[in-house]
Structure 1
């Protein structure tokens, strides 16, 4: 049985697996217990793989009908990373052991990308190792305060921002329990995470949102078109968005996990590992190049009299096109998205200011910040009938409050034809100005410690990026390449 309270939803009320729904009958049989007094307050929901007493995962005292006694030593979040090794690992040992190596757990790529762009010489292994710095003395320390208190709202130790579409469980529950309108909707474990779970972290102008053709509005309400006569809209992702062309795979009914499978959660170092030894790991070529398909069929792909078909984990099935255009042979050192991306995020001049001042009037038209914490504080303190809250912001890893609010703004937010650049291996790829950022800090005495300190990242902060806006290459793909090669040649000649 799986339970949730009629009057209050407790997060993560089951022993969760991490990647796949494994019916470990022996484990379940061992842990089956008679129905307990939990049912007096909690409503049962079916999950065939977790037919066991509540106390197996949640501990507590199932023999007492008194709430205080029943909840002694209760573990409210058994799927939280702090509890996985002792709770989930009882039945899901392999997944639990591999989770701390996964990018979803460590966030090391994002964390070290930002730290290096502000002077870090060495990587740290995971987000938990980011130093806590209250009074930064160098740009690196300021960037680390930014990471802990503004950026890292989405990770397995956090239940997400407080918007209706961005709430999720922690640990295993982040992907495998379903939330709706900011509340846990079911304790039934889902082996295949739905896209709503992915989008609870991959929203805003980040990979994932573009898969659905979404581009976040500006923060200033004057630019949030179309205008609405309503006094309030839910803004499920914090900021409203424009509806652009969605990725062709999304329009065909494919889920995120059709391409980004189990390898994301089991310790692989890349979000799309290029290895055919793992049938869950897919690249564009592994599904669309005939010679690779003849060697090994990725999961979901089956041969047909006319070629191949692909069946999504959503249940949808459709013909799988195989590369035939001669351009694929000519341009072998060109990323697929160089020709096939329909549009790309290009937000330039991202400015981040830590302000320890209790001056909020300057932000009257920018209360929407893509952060519920900042938005709530601004709206509260701009209401002069309310007692003012201190200019503090929480550490998104420990939850501790510290002085200073991190505000965000942009020089320009736009979508356009993808920008091109060279990756470290020389291939031509789509790039975006992801590290075109600057940091500032003014303390409570109005002393400016840092004033628009720019990132040290080369090439105006442009880094390789894979837009999830795939579509037909069209008739101008070669022109896109020629324009890039000409500009590259002209740049070299001018040196």
Structure 2
């Protein structure tokens, strides 16, 4: 019985194996055509992709063109727009087509009149900022920043030291440069500095992954890309730089590394009341004013008894004044001057003496030109709202490789030169507003704009040419209009009564 069972199992296994082999043959046999012929095996061919169409956008697919400037890329950027090979396509390329050296040829083809006006404006020439510093150190005025002489080597006299200060430390915000290397500051050159939208130094776009090449009307972001760092405009937004010493700075995020959008952490002070009402810089300061075609707007142009043509979007409606906001359909009711103090003091006191909520009062400003590689004294002061200084100090502090030589770029030509400018302050304050009488007899707000001390040391940290705490011709106090407007306090007169003439001051106190 046992042998019969073994034979039966063996027979079953042999039959099963034969069935499997037959099934494999059927599966591997080629399919037949209706005529009984085997079908040919299909071969899938992989074709090479077609070559891209010639032109810039075959490679630069992320560029989102401006419908108002629907031009061939090469019409402004030059280069060869008929090929795909990068080396050939980029021959003669102008990457910054709206920069000062190229904008007359490019932008001027259609906007010659606007370009001519803009080129003469203070925003373009920086003549006011340049000449304030030069005149303070008793140097002759210049027409624009490009006339500031370049030094060949280490400054040997006051004129050379001041020129180097202007070209490599002060003038980091103007249309000849792309701005400091911080997220909210990096931008384009020339016309693009104000009329193109940048974030983190790159063109932004409405679509994700797209770079918007549209030319726009400036907004607050464009203004603050230059008007930051305790300059007029930053106060409008309530921004005040914290101290340079890292012990007195407060980062707002904990991740490492953390960004400083404007170069250094900011105190968030009360913004201007106009900003709180949704207004921006260009609601008051028109393009015509910035181009030098109209005088600077004054408070009375909106709030005074007469309607001024300086504010184009202000209209009278019955007994009220209505302002239409810039780039918006929104409107704001403009309050009229009603308090009797406006009549009493209008010829003697400027508006911001009573209405400024706070003002910049950071002085004395110490500036040191150093040719020394020793950065350890600047460990706690590495962040000075200057990306070049910050990069140099932090690299030399922590590198295990060869240290960098101290150098800074010329902010007009871009050429790097030996020596680095450090900055520090005796104090940084905002709560004490400085009030004084100007040369025209009007009581105004002042700030220590030119309270500067210049020094210079060589590679061995020896003083150069007696440049040790070099001062200008006076204390450096200059009139200033804080953009921190708000309601006048109950004791507003206490700010200026001591500056009124004897009879006027006594009569005011008795009322």
| TM-score band, normalised by shorter chain | 0.7 to 0.9
Give 1:300's match in structure 2, choosing from 270, 290, 313: 313
Structure 1, 130-139 or 435-444: larger mean CA deviation: 130-139
Query: Within the alignment, does 1:410 sit opposite 2:425 as a pair?
Result: yes
State how far apart, in whole Å, the 2-side matches of 1:481 and 1:152 are. 35
Matches within 5 A, 1:28-427: 37-43=55-61, 44-120=63-139, 122-133=140-151, 134-186=153-205, 187-225=212-250, 229-268=254-293, 273-274=295-296, 282-290=297-305, 292-293=306-307, 296=309, 298-315=311-328, 316-332=330-346, 333-427=348-442
Displacement after TM superposition at 1:53 (Å): 1.3
After superposition, the Cα gap between the structure-2 partners of 1:36 and 1:204, relative to the gap in structure 1 and judged at 3 Å, is same
Displacement after TM superposition at 1:348 (Å): 1.0
After superposition, the Cα gap between the structure-2 partners of 1:179 and 1:229, relative to the gap in structure 1 and judged at 3 Å, is closer
Is the CA contact (8 Å cut-off) linking 2:349 and 2:443 kept in structure 1? Answer: yes
Displacement after TM superposition at 1:226 (Å): 6.5
Displacement after TM superposition at 1:452 (Å): 3.6
State how far apart, in whole Å, the 2-side matches of 1:313 and 1:188 are. 22
After superposition, the Cα gap between the structure-2 partners of 1:452 and 1:484, relative to the gap in structure 1 and judged at 3 Å, is farther
Structure 2 unaligned blocks of 5 or more = 1-52, 206-211, 506-511
After superposition, the Cα gap between the structure-2 partners of 1:240 and 1:100, relative to the gap in structure 1 and judged at 3 Å, is same
Deviating 4+ runs (over 6 angstroms): none
Give 1:477's match in structure 2, choosing from 488, 492, 498: 492
Displacement after TM superposition at 1:386 (Å): 2.5
Displacement after TM superposition at 1:260 (Å): 1.5
The TM-score with structure 1 as length reference comes to 0.85
Root-mean-square deviation (Å): 2.2
SS in 1 for 2:101: helix
Displacement after TM superposition at 1:362 (Å): 0.8
Is the CA contact (8 Å cut-off) linking 2:437 and 2:499 kept in structure 1? Answer: no
Displacement after TM superposition at 1:232 (Å): 3.0
Aligned residues: 441
SS in 1 for 2:102: helix
Displacement after TM superposition at 1:182 (Å): 2.5
Is the CA contact (8 Å cut-off) linking 1:157 and 1:397 kept in structure 2? Answer: yes
Displacement after TM superposition at 1:484 (Å): 4.1
Is the CA contact (8 Å cut-off) linking 1:340 and 1:470 kept in structure 2? Answer: yes
State how far apart, in whole Å, the 2-side matches of 1:395 and 1:203 are. 20
SS in 1 for 2:369: strand
SS in 1 for 2:367: strand
Give 1:455's match in structure 2, choosing from 471, 478, 483: 471
Displacement after TM superposition at 1:480 (Å): 1.1
After superposition, the Cα gap between the structure-2 partners of 1:305 and 1:288, relative to the gap in structure 1 and judged at 3 Å, is same
1:102-153 CA distance string (max 9 Å, x none) = 1111111111111121221x21111111111232222232111111111111
The TM-score with structure 2 as length reference comes to 0.82
State how far apart, in whole Å, the 2-side matches of 1:322 and 1:190 are. 37
State how far apart, in whole Å, the 2-side matches of 1:421 and 1:66 are. 66
Rg comparison, structure with higher value: 2
Match of 2:8 in 1: none
Is the CA contact (8 Å cut-off) linking 2:264 and 2:385 kept in structure 1? Answer: yes
Structure 1 unaligned blocks of 5 or more = 1-34, 275-281, 491-495
Match of 1:7 in 2: none
Is the CA contact (8 Å cut-off) linking 2:455 and 2:470 kept in structure 1? Answer: no
Query: Within the alignment, does 1:465 sit opposite 2:480 as a pair?
Result: yes
After superposition, the Cα gap between the structure-2 partners of 1:399 and 1:217, relative to the gap in structure 1 and judged at 3 Å, is same
State how far apart, in whole Å, the 2-side matches of 1:430 and 1:245 are. 18
